[in-house]
Amino acid sequence: MKTYTEEVGNKLNDLLEKTYDAEKGFKKAAENVEHFALKNYFNQKAQQRYDFGHELKTEIKSFGQEVDKGGSITGGLHRTWMDIKSLVSVDSEEGMLEEAIRGEEASIKEYNEVLTETSLPPSTQTVLTQQKNKIVSGLSNIRTLEDLK
């Protein structure tokens, strides 16, 4: 049976891995768009996910847990953020934007699932709530870019 800190550490490592995926996806998206506002948005989101990663690493280490270097995700979980290959295959900037919206919605759902864990310590609850709120806010902002032509 896993200990309290192992369970929390595993959940945070899962989020960390998805955060890395999102950062890479946003960077790749920024490289593949011409629209200035959209490029700027993707770059800002990549930086945000980089920052989220550092916050999550700090939280994981505060429990004396190891930070996963990636590549190991719990069986039942799957990557829900936009896959870099599918992102690059999207033909239009609007398509990339739609894929980003879908990914952000999936991220919010994942954060909500972890946040419903009653055994989360207050520091973890705070970090995850702040990160989720930033994603929600960003999702509102991205919707203003949906009218790309």
CB 16 within 8 A of CB 111: no
Range of the domain at 87: 4-67+74-145
Q: Looking only at Cα atoms, what is the longest distance across the chain?
A: 54
CA distance 32 to 9: 35
Q: Is 49 helix (H, G, I), strand (E, B) or coil?
A: helix
CA distance 66 to 13: 9
When mean pLDDT is compared over 20-24, 35-39, 45-49, 120-124, the highest value belongs to 45-49
- The count of domains in the chain is 1
Q: Give me the CATH number covering residue 13.
A: 1.20.1260.10
Predicted confidence at residue 3, as pLDDT, reads 57
Across the range 11-24, mean pLDDT stands at: 89
CA distance 98 to 73: 26
The mean pLDDT value of the chain amounts to: 80
Q: What is the pLDDT of residues 63-122, one digit of tens each?
A: 888 887 654 443 333 344 444 445 555 567 777 888 888 889 999 999 999 998 768 889
DSSP state of 76: T
